[in-house]
Amino acid sequence: MERSGNRITAHFRNLATDATTARTADQVIVEHGTQPADELYRALRDSAANDGVTDITALLAGESQPESEGADRFTLHRIGDAVSSRNIHAAVFDALRLCRTL
């Protein structure tokens, strides 16, 4: 970025094409994203029968998750904000896809 009078010129590079462009504006806002809120998932993972692993192929096909050894233990799946910064709709949809085959 560089100052152009009372404005800012920001230079952007397209990661796919390596093309660069410059835009001049009054303000530049940078969005860095967020880190997953997965502390609870990580704390429970070692105790879960499935080690917290979700079979993505089965999930996308609408099939049940494979049975895990240790039927006396719980299964754990990472959904919603434990995956990435997402809204409540995405978390509910993740849970629906996992639970509809129970």
Per-residue confidence in pLDDT tens, the chain, 102 aa: 788 889 999 999 998 899 999 999 999 887 777 788 889 999 999 999 999 999 989 988 889 998 887 667 899 999 888 888 788 888 899 899 899 988
For position 31, what pLDDT does the model report? Answer: 75
What is the tally of structural domains in the chain? 2
Domain, as residue range, for 77: 39-99
For position 101, what pLDDT does the model report? Answer: 86
pTM of the model: 0.62
- Residue 24 near residue 36, CB atoms below 8 Å: no
Same domain, 22 and 43: no
Greatest Cα pair distance in the chain: 68
Same domain, 83 and 56: yes
For position 82, what pLDDT does the model report? Answer: 86
- DSSP string spanning 16-71? TT--EEEEEES------------HHHHHHHTTSTTTT---HHHHHHTPPPPP-S-T
